[in-house]
């Protein structure tokens, strides 16, 4: 971590979880219980995959594999996404060492997660913001138009894989190297390149578990999942928001969920992103946490929130339908940090955008 004088000074730091994307894509549909365009919450994700299964093709094969290549007697859909991943990975690793005959007809963890990363990318790629306009309003308030990225004093940390938040910035023409990180390539050949003119030390949006529009080589993805990647290796990563590869291709979406006993920070790019997130927490005057409960399944995130120090913090704002989230963060954050700050709570993201950012709410619908 850099010395304080070399860190980005942050006015407001937004920490976004699945509840944020859910709120920005949600519509109240009385006709249909399952709406494909809504970004699922963690607890519903596998059920949503099951309900979206097509008649044929790689998507059907991958969904059947993810839901059935399973060890527990309880169905996979009864678990939240991250909990299911941790259970499947842990069960496989235990049985591989203790009772290897049990895994003879099962695929490896890296094969399992490769299929899942493709499914998550395919599913989330079809999710979109509702027509309330809240996504653009929120992004424009955090990163005002007609202001250069170098002058932005707000930042976003997100644990989400989807691109709902950054899409307005991309459409506005903001460089993806400034949104994500400055070694991001435009294609596979440029996955490590960085021109001096494009150096940008403090990304606008930190995606701590990857993104549906990031790509890497499949062999390197497998190494990250196994935890045996060279910690000093610069992994070529490039952007591709148009074509979703198949699980059998030699390219993989770069989505790395919380995995037990394999810290994501063993990979250099994720070590950089998590270090930046830790620095932003140290420097923010105000922290707004939207739809993220910091679950026990993400041990690294809990460690980060437990140990950061901040003498500048003035306010914590927790936006979550469950008021218990406010209590959880007050107990989680270091007392020397939490005591000095004003704590506030709001139950609804749309309400926060309307009242705190001064942007009137509209009725949420989807086009089409």
Residues 348 and 320 in one domain: yes
Tens digits of per-residue pLDDT, 308-321? Answer: 999 899 999 999 99
Q: 3-state class of 155 per DSSP?
A: strand
Same domain membership, residue 144 and residue 17? yes
Q: Are residues 181 and 323 in the same domain?
A: yes
Q: Give 13-55 pLDDT, tens digit per residue.
A: 999 999 999 999 998 876 667 788 999 999 999 999 999 999 9
For residue 285, tell me if it sits in a domain: yes
Q: What is the CATH number of the domain that holds 345?
A: 3.40.50.1220
Q: Compute the average pLDDT of residues 116-131.
A: 96
Are residues 88 and 49 part of one domain? yes
For residues 70 and 218, membership in a common domain is answered with no
Q: How far is CA 224 from the centre of its chain?
A: 17
Task: Name the residue range of residue 80's domain.
Answer: 44-126
| Sheet with strand 238-239: strands edge to edge | 238-239, 210-217, 251-255
**pLDDT per residue as tens digits for the range 214-245:** 999 999 999 999 989 999 888 999 999 788 99
Q: Are residue 112 and residue 222 in the same domain, yes or no?
A: no
In this structure, are 212 and 310 located in the same domain?
yes
Candidate from 110-119, 191-200, 272-281 with smallest mean pLDDT: 191-200
Q: Are residues 94 and 145 in the same domain?
A: no
Domain count, the chain: 2
Take residue 8 and report the two structure tokens written for it: 């980005």
The per-residue pLDDT for 368 is: 40
Q: Is residue 92 part of a domain?
A: yes
Q: Could you tell me the pTM of the whole model? A: 0.94
* 170 shares its domain with 238: yes
- Do residues 90 and 228 share a domain? no
pLDDT at 199 > cutoff 70: yes
The pLDDT, as a whole number, for residue 362 is 59
- Of 89, 110, 126, the residue that ends a domain is 126
Instruction: State yes or no: pLDDT of 164 exceeds 50.
Output: yes
Q: Are residues 274 and 160 in the same domain?
A: yes
- Of 126, 146, 178, the position where a domain reaches its end is 126
Over residues 126-147, mean pLDDT: 96
Long-range contacts, 175-184 (Cβ 8 Å, 24+):
175/149, 175/200, 176/239, 178/149, 178/203, 178/204, 179/203, 179/204, 179/205, 180/205, 180/207, 180/211, 180/214, 180/239, 181/269, 181/272, 181/273, 183/234, 183/237, 183/269, 184/214, 184/237, 184/238, 184/239
């Amino acid at each position: 971590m850099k010395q304080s004088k070399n860190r980005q000074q942050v006015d407001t730091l937004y920490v976004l979880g699945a509840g944020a994307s859910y709120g920005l894509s949600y519509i109240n549909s009385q006709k249909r219980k399952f709406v494909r365009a809504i970004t699922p919450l963690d607890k519903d994700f596998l059920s949503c995959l099951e309900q979206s299964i097509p008649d044929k093709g790689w998507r059907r094969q991958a969904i059947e594999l993810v839901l059935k290549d399973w060890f527990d007697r309880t169905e996979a859909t009864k678990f939240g996404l991250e909990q299911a991943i941790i259970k499947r990975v842990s069960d496989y690793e235990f049985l591989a060492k203790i009772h290897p005959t049990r895994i003879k007809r099962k695929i490896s963890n890296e094969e399992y997660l490769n299929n899942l990363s493709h499914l998550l990318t395919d599913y989330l790629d079809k999710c979109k913001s509702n027509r309330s306009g809240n996504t653009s309003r929120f992004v424009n308030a955090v990163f005002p138009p007609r202001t250069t990225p170098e002058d932005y004093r707000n930042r976003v940390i997100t644990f989400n894989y989807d691109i709902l938040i950054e899409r307005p910035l991309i459409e506005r023409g903001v460089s993806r190297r400034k949104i994500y990180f400055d070694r991001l390539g435009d294609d596979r050949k440029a996955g490590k390149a960085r021109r001096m003119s494009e150096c940008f030390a403090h990304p606008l949006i930190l995606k701590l578990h990857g993104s549906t529009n990031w790509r890497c080589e499949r062999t390197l993805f497998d190494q990250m999942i196994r935890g045996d990647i060279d910690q000093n290796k610069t992994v070529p990563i490039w952007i591709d928001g148009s074509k979703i590869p198949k699980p059998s291709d030699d390219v993989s979406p770069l989505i790395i969920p919380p995995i037990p006993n394999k810290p994501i920070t063993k990979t250099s790019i994720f070590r950089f992103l998590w270090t930046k997130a830790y620095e932003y927490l140290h420097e923010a005057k105000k922290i707004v946490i939207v739809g993220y409960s910091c679950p026990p399944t993400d041990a690294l995130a809990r460690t980060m929130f437990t140990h950061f120090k901040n003498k500048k913090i003035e306010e914590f704002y927790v936006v979550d339908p469950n008021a218990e989230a406010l209590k959880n963060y007050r107990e989680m954050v270091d007392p020397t940090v939490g005591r000095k700050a004003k704590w506030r709570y709001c139950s609804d993201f749309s309400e926060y955008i309307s009242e705190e950012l001064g942007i009137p709410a509209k009725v949420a619908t989807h086009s089409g």
